[in-house]
Amino acid sequence: MATLSVTLLDTFVGKSVEALCPLSFGKISDDHNHCAHFVGHVLKLNSSVTTGMTCAGMVYIGKKHPTAGALIRVNDIYNFCTDLDEPNPLGCLAYYTLKSNIGADGLMGTMRQKHVGICIDGYVYNYGNTNDKVRKDKVGDLANLYGKNTITRYTALPMGHTVLTLDEIKALV
């Protein structure tokens, strides 16, 4: 098991979903949003940690390897985590959505305009669906992702997460 660090996350920068998912869910230029998928694999967020849709549930091979899967929905991750007022420089998750996607109960909804990345030491590591690869942005660079009405939220890293290297992710199958 690895430790969350800028050095570790830098090894993911430039990788496509095809290089990230050991179950081969996702292709370059597909219609899926892979930001949660990336976060889910790096933090090993799957059915053994919380409930939600995983890549294992989307492909046949996932039936044989359910714990090799990762959450693929931003709201499933957000709604499982504890809110933070400010980013934790040692590691947290950063979310970008519209205010109307956060309910009165504080839960994130299923609106398409939502994005998540791993925030550490002033950077947000996230899967950019436009260029189909992991990117490294400075905190604040994604503040207008969905226009002027974009809101930014932070949560603690999920309880029960395990940080994995790319090689450890690939070895799950």
pLDDT above 80: residue 1: no
Closest to 93 measured CA to CA, from 129, 44, 43: 43
Helix segments in 29-138, DSSP class H? 35-42, 74-78
The whole-model pTM stands at 0.95
Q: Is residue 1 part of a domain?
A: no
For residue 148, is it within any domain? yes
In the chain, at which residue ranges do the beta strands (DSSP E only) sit?
83-84, 92-98, 114-120, 123-128, 133-138, 150-155
For 3-38, the three-class secondary structure string (H helix, E strand, C coil) is: CCCHHHHHCCCCCCHHHHCCCCCCCCCCCCCCHHHH
Residue 64: partners with Cβ closer than 8 Å, 6 or more residues away = none
Structure-block tokens of residue 74: 């931003």
- Identify the pLDDT of residue 134: 98
Alpha carbon distance, N-terminus to C-terminus of the chain: 16
User: What are 122-136's pLDDT values in tens digits?
Assistant: 999 999 988 999 999
Q: Which domain holds residue 137?
A: 6-170
pLDDT, one tens digit per residue, over 56-87 is 999 988 888 988 999 999 999 999 999 999 99
Tally of domains within the chain: 1
What CATH number does residue 40 fall under?
3.90.1720
pLDDT tens, residue by residue, 121-172: 999 999 998 899 999 999 999 999 999 999 999 999 998 899 999 999 999 9
Count the Cβ atoms, other than its own, within 10 Å of residue 51: 10
- The per-residue pLDDT of the chain, averaged, comes to 94
